[in-house]
Amino acid sequence: MTNKILRDMLDRRTVIKAAAAAGVAQVAAPFVISARAADTVKMGLDDPLTGTYAELGRNEQIGCELAIDEINAKGGILARKVELLVEDSTSADTGTAVQKARKLIERDKVDFLLGNVNSAMALATGEVSNELKTFHIVTGGHTDAVTGTDCHWNVFRVCNTTRMETNSVAQTLFTKYGKKWYFITPDYAFGHTLQQGFEVFLKAHGGIETGASLAPLGATDYSSYLIKAQSTNPDVIIFLTAGQDAVSSLKQAVQFGLDKRFHIAGAQQELEVLEGLPPDARIGTWVFEWYWNQPNIKGLPEFIAAIRKRNGGKVPTARHWFGYTAAWTCALVANETKSLDAVKMAKALEGFTLPPEIALMPNKTYYRAGDHQLMPTLYVGHAVAQGAKDPEDLFVVDQLVKGDEAALPVAETGCHVKWPA
């Protein structure tokens, strides 16, 4: 059904013919126009454009912008032009993110809310969008509670849960590199739930946690944590940092020579981080949520080319894909339901399968009914200093894991969706 919706989104000729048949006098293709702003459909992106996660937020924005250009070229949403309104949530001030969400919904009257990279902000803005009954897709905040204990009828998520990420890579680390692990963890929701996921695995398999260090978001000096980690003599040091924090912590780990004594690993890894590292620090075993170098994926060459044009010639990252997929999801479900009603769209999105040219990955990619979590493919592999054939190919995929095989069953997520009366 979703493929048909994508093909049938109105083109210029279709709109003109429909307007003529209805006797509409004023048409400006490809949209039915009256000059009022209300004739546009608005998406609001509340994401970090400054601070630790600025690059990640900016890349999500680029993905959204590409999707909206494509959506508009195909007739828009309900034959109306789509526009993107963007607010800087900052990387660490949840209060600012909440204020920006309220502004987008209450003052700017957006039809859809997208964001956030920061897990704490994703949770907080989910509360706002639920209060204001606005359809919301979390793009890049991973903590389990978003589609778990704090789930809402109006909130869906594109990126993985932290448990999906830890479940997909934990067995490989345990089997290949050893059962004694030390954690370096960012001290907020994202890091906490990643560490908890790994700890559940260690306990179930008789592993040993040699220790853990909680680092503040935006830390620049990891020396005390690295010294403590090596003193416990683990088999694996698990880095759960992200964004610029991941760049700083991994660079310092190599400077300390820890990669020569211990295996370096983690869960979520991103191309933005690998690009920001010197070649000798592109090390370790990780999970990518989407990767650009995949064979035989429908629409992927076109997506790569389109992002390169907007991204200084660089290949797309998972963050581009998050924004792109989130924006396209809004268009697809609105056009399927022929409505901008948040309840109708949310109910229609339960079990909704993305068309291949939007999913851009192998296996069925769908929003799971019950917790509203996207079930994608996860890419488990290892970082490399430089690609064998392409200098931008900095990750070798060793294993593909289906999302619904890595995710907890809905009954174990803590999610109980309550629909409005």
CATH number at residue 242: 3.40.50.2300
Structural domain includes residue 411: no
Of 336, 354, 375, the one marking the end of a domain is: 375
What is the number of other CB atoms lying within 10 angstroms of the CB of residue 216?
Answer: 11
Task: Per residue of the chain (421 residues), give pLDDT as tens.
Answer: 444 445 454 343 333 333 333 333 333 334 333 334 469 999 999 999 999 999 999 999 999 999 999 999 999 999 999 999 999 999 999 999 999 999 999 999 999 999 999 999 999 999 999 999 999 999 999 999 999 999 999 999 999 999 999 999 999 999 999 999 999 999 999 999 999 999 999 999 999 999 999 999 999 999 999 999 999 999 999 999 999 999 999 999 999 999 999 999 999 999 999 999 999 999 999 999 999 999 999 999 999 999 999 999 999 999 999 999 999 999 999 999 999 999 999 999 999 999 999 999 999 999 999 999 999 999 999 999 999 899 999 999 999 999 999 999 999 999 999 999 8
Q: Parallel, antiparallel, or unpaired for β 180-186 and 236-239?
A: parallel
Measured CA angle at 222 (ends 221, 224), to 5 deg: 110
Q: Say whether both 337 and 383 belong to one domain.
A: no
Q: What are phi and psi of 252, to 5 degrees?
A: -70, -35
Q: Say whether both 9 and 128 belong to one domain.
A: yes
Q: Say whether both 40 and 130 belong to one domain.
A: yes
Structural domain includes residue 320: yes
Structural domain includes residue 130: yes
Q: Say whether both 146 and 168 belong to one domain.
A: no
When divided into structural domains, the chain yields a total of 2
Structural domain includes residue 59: yes
Structural domain includes residue 412: no
Strand locations in 173-259, DSSP E?
180-186, 208-215, 236-239
Nearest Cα to 413, choosing from 169, 161, 199, 217?
Answer: 161
What is the model's pLDDT at position 33? Answer: 35
85 three-class SS: strand
Position of tokens 């917790």? 371
Q: Say whether both 122 and 111 belong to one domain.
A: yes
Q: Say whether both 68 and 175 belong to one domain.
A: no
Measured CA angle at 114 (ends 35, 72), to 5 deg: 40
Q: Say whether both 306 and 331 belong to one domain.
A: yes
Q: Say whether both 308 and 206 belong to one domain.
A: no
Q: Say whether both 45 and 151 belong to one domain.
A: yes
Longest dimension (CA), the chain: 79
Residue span of the structural domain in which 220 resides: 163-288+379-406
Q: Which two tokens stand for residue 234?
A: 């683990």
Q: Say whether both 232 and 356 belong to one domain.
A: no
Structural domain includes residue 171: yes
Task: Report pTM.
Answer: 0.90
Contacts of 240 by beta carbon, 8 Å cutoff, 6+ apart:
183, 184, 185, 186, 190, 191, 194, 195, 266, 267
Please provide the DSSP assignment of 104-162 as one string: IIIIS--SEEE--SSHHHHHHHHHHHHHTT-EEEE-S---GGGGTTT--TTEEESSPPH
Structural domain includes residue 417: no
Structural domain includes residue 414: no
Q: Which two tokens stand for residue 97?
A: 């993110």
Q: Say whether both 92 and 221 belong to one domain.
A: no
Q: Say whether both 18 and 107 belong to one domain.
A: yes
